[in-house]
Structure 1
């Protein structure tokens, strides 16, 4: 029963994250990327501090190191994603981010020597094809925004993998507080370096950041770390990747984004790659990478 509640919880996370693409795009109308990041993770740090206050006195050294690592990967993913949104569309940003799913098994192989299944290889190849169809232009070059989104996918793949590794050993609330605080600190450092402490956001901008900080960050990452206790990292990745579907849907309904046939084809290929890569976790196919 806990497993089914965990699956439902991760699905709820994907819906909220899908709305996050739209909220980020709206916030960028009056705020810079690292202003958004600093406020977003500042809110997350305060709220997670309140939630985990009773546990913070007994933080173990191992929990601190784990939270710092999660925070760095979280920062990498979101920083690249929101900067990329200035150069690409929310729907492309969402589906390119979803390629993190096919990266997770390979990260598990590199870090823990977990074997990569045949379907994982096929999924990776299909994802590359899908990215090409979705993002390559007539000169077969990748746009800056799309390329940066792929870097963001690496960050999220690392975050998903390490979350799966750490939640079985350490307290989810403590991990969340430390990773939020780390992402907030890194965002603040870059914000200071850029000299962007003057905020001139509109009401829509502040509401968007409030959604990102309270709902799309604090609530979702608390849910994610709690739910991943009962689901392995690869299956969690496939569920979480569905944010791309909701992100595209919300972009069309709210932002009235135009979707081309080429984009649809690329998105379908990437989604198929994600499904195939996920099925690898339960398959007994011959191992191709050892």
Structure 2
């Protein structure tokens, strides 16, 4: 039951992140990318501290250290994605970022010497193909923006991997608080370095930024961290990759983007990827049942 609860929380996270594409587009009309990151992470950590202030009394040194690691990977991922976007197209940026879904199982393999599950790996590659259909404008040209975005994908992959590792022993809420606080601190250092102190307070930009802070940052990362207590890192990456699908859905609904056959094909492939990764459980159950019958006979 907990497994399915974790997967449901990850689906909600992906839906929230998918909606975030629309609000990010609005916010960037009023703030620079670096200002937006500083604002969303700062608001996020403030909300978490207010809501869970009683838990902060019980924070452990190990939680702080692990939260710092997660916070560095989290902000590094967003920073590389933001810089990469300045040199490549949004579609390629979204696609290459999603490559983390394939990177995660290999990180786990090298870290734990654990055999890569064929169902989950196949699901990961299918998810990438589906995302390509959803977002990628097929070109062979590779530039510095693509390489920076690939580095971003590795940072997101390590954030997912270490979250799965750390959350087994730490309070997921406190882990999220520290992670968010570190990301906010790094974001403000970058804003200071760039001298971008002139923030816009136009109501449309403020409301979009608040949405990103409350839902796409605070709520989404809380859900992800808690969910990873019950779901392995590869399954997490596959489910979170549906962010691209939900981004398409919200773009069609809210921004009147035209729905194409390629988008529909991509959505179907991503759905097949998730179902394939779920096949492992039923396969193991059938195998176990078959072995029991052989022993009994």
User: How many residue pairs end up in the alignment?
Assistant: 280
SS, match of residue 115 in structure 1: coil
Instruction: Indicate yes or no: 2:70 matched with 1:70.
Output: yes
Q: CA deviation at 1:102?
A: 1.4
Relative to structure 1, the CA distance from residue 246 to residue 132 in structure 2 (aligned partners, 3 Å threshold; closer, same or farther) is closer
Deviations 1:60-117 (A, max 9, x none): 222111101111111122223344555533x654444332211110111222222223
SS, match of residue 74 in structure 2: helix
Relative to structure 1, the CA distance from residue 44 to residue 260 in structure 2 (aligned partners, 3 Å threshold; closer, same or farther) is same
Deviations 1:144-173 (A, max 9, x none): 555544333222211111111111100111
Aligned pairs for 1:218-237 (under 5 A) are 218-237=218-237
Query: In the alignment, what sits opposite 1:168?
Result: 168
Query: In the alignment, what sits opposite 1:288?
Result: none
SS, match of residue 159 in structure 1: helix
Instruction: Indicate yes or no: 2:97 matched with 1:88.
Output: no
Q: CA deviation at 1:269?
A: 9.5
SS, match of residue 53 in structure 1: coil
Instruction: Give the stretch that moved more between structures: 202-211 or 117-126.
Output: 117-126
Deviations 1:12-35 (A, max 9, x none): 111111011111111111110110
Query: In the alignment, what sits opposite 2:14?
Result: 14
Contact 1:124–1:277 (Cα < 8 Å) also in 2 = no
Question: In structure 2, how many angstroms separate the alpha carbons of the residues matched to 1:96 and 1:233?
Answer: 19
TM (norm. structure 1) is: 0.82
Aligned pairs for 1:86-235 (under 5 A) are 87-89=88-90, 93-119=93-119, 134-137=136-139, 140-142=140-142, 146-235=146-235
Instruction: Give the stretch that moved more between structures: 271-280 or 199-208.
Output: 271-280
Instruction: Give the stretch that moved more between structures: 147-156 or 8-17.
Output: 147-156
Relative to structure 1, the CA distance from residue 274 to residue 33 in structure 2 (aligned partners, 3 Å threshold; closer, same or farther) is farther
Relative to structure 1, the CA distance from residue 73 to residue 172 in structure 2 (aligned partners, 3 Å threshold; closer, same or farther) is same
Contact 1:99–1:270 (Cα < 8 Å) also in 2 = no
Instruction: Give the stretch that moved more between structures: 48-57 or 147-156.
Output: 147-156
Max Rg structure = 2
What is the RMSD computed on CA atoms of the aligned residues? 3.0
Question: In structure 2, how many angstroms separate the alpha carbons of the residues matched to 1:121 and 1:5?
Answer: 22
Structure 1 alignment gaps of length 5 or more: 285-290
Question: In structure 2, how many angstroms separate the alpha carbons of the residues matched to 1:42 and 1:107?
Answer: 30
SS, match of residue 116 in structure 1: coil
Query: In the alignment, what sits opposite 1:35?
Result: 35
Instruction: Give the stretch that moved more between structures: 157-166 or 190-199.
Output: 157-166
Q: CA deviation at 1:191?
A: 0.5
SS, match of residue 256 in structure 1: coil
TM (norm. structure 2) is: 0.81
Question: In structure 2, how many angstroms separate the alpha carbons of the residues matched to 1:127 and 1:11?
Answer: 14
Instruction: Give the stretch that moved more between structures: 17-26 or 80-89.
Output: 80-89
Contact 1:81–1:93 (Cα < 8 Å) also in 2 = yes
Relative to structure 1, the CA distance from residue 53 to residue 41 in structure 2 (aligned partners, 3 Å threshold; closer, same or farther) is same
Query: In the alignment, what sits opposite 2:287?
Result: none
Question: In structure 2, how many angstroms separate the alpha carbons of the residues matched to 1:72 and 1:273?
Answer: 33
Contact 1:172–1:225 (Cα < 8 Å) also in 2 = yes
Instruction: Indicate yes or no: 2:225 matched with 1:247.
Output: no
